[in-house]
Amino acid sequence: MTAMDLPGSSRRIPTSSTAKASPATPAVATKAKAPAVAYISWIALALMTTSSVASLRAAPTMAVYGLAAVFLYLLPAVVFLLPTSLVSAELASGWNGGVYRWVSEGISAPMGFLAVWCQFAMTIFYYPSLLGFVASTLAYVINPALASSGLWTAAVIMVCFWAGVYISSQGTKSIAGLSSMGLIIGTLIPGVLLVVLGVVFLGQGNPSAAPMDASHILPAWAGLASLVLIVNNFLSYSGMEMNAVHVSSLRKPGREFPRAMFLAMGLVLLIFVLPALAISWIVPAQQISLTSGVMQAFDAVFGQFGVNWLTPILGVMLVVASLGGMLTWLAGPSKGLLLVSRQYGYLPPFLQRLNKHGVQQNILVTQGVITTAIALMYAFIPDVSSTYWILSVITTQVYLVVYLLMFVAAVRLRRNQPDHPRGFKAPALMALCIVGFLASIAALLIGFVPSSQFGGGSVALYVSIVGGGLVLIGLLVPFLFYKLRKPHWKTADPAVTTAIE
* pLDDT, tens digit (0-9, with 9 covering 90-100), for 281-326: 988 887 776 545 677 778 888 888 888 888 888 888 888 878 877 8
Residue pair 325/130 in contact (Cβ under 8 Å)? The answer is yes
pLDDT at 83: 92
For residue 13, pLDDT beyond 50: no
For residue 362, pLDDT beyond 80: yes
Range of lowest pLDDT (239-253, 306-320, 335-349) = 239-253
Please report, for the chain, the start and end positions of each structural domain, with discontinuous segments joined by +. Answer: 42-485
- Report residue 142: phi and psi, to 5°: -90, -60
Of the chain, the end-to-end C-alpha distance in Å amounts to 18
The pLDDT value given to residue 21: 40
Mean pLDDT lowest among 167-176, 207-216, 257-266: 167-176
Rounded to an integer, the average pLDDT of 199-222 is 85
Share of the chain above pLDDT 70, in %: 79
Q: What average pLDDT score do residues 39-65 get?
A: 82
Report pLDDT digits (tens) over 370-381: 888 877 877 776
Confidence at residue 12, expressed as pLDDT on a 0 to 100 scale: 37
pLDDT of residue 222: 64
Let me know: does 100 contact 500? Beta carbons within 8 Å: no
What's the confidence (pLDDT) of residue 2? 35
> Is residue 499 pLDDT above 50, yes or no?
no
pLDDT the model gives residue 38 = 67
Residue 471 and residue 469: Cα distance in Å, rounded? 5
Interacting residues of 234 by C-beta distance below 8 A, sequence separation 6+? 76, 79, 80, 439, 440, 442, 443
**Worst-scoring range by mean pLDDT, 13-22, 133-142, 207-216, 364-373?**
13-22
Say how far apart CA 49 and CA 394 lie, in whole Å: 23
CA–CA distances in Å: residue 374 to residues 191, 322, 324: 31, 19, 21
Average pLDDT over residues 37-52: 80
pLDDT at site 419: 93
Per-residue pLDDT, 381: 65
pLDDT above 50: residue 31:
no
Dihedral pair phi/psi, residue 359, rounded to 5°: -105, 145
Q: Is the pLDDT of residue 46 over 50?
A: yes
Record the pTM: 0.75
What pLDDT is recorded for position 501?
41
Q: Which residue has the higher pLDDT, 78 or 329?
A: 78
Rounded Cα gap, residues 494 and 170, in angstroms: 22
Protein fold of 42-485: Amino acid/polyamine transporter I (1.20.1740)
pLDDT, greater one: 452 or 229? 229
CA distance 432 to 454: 34
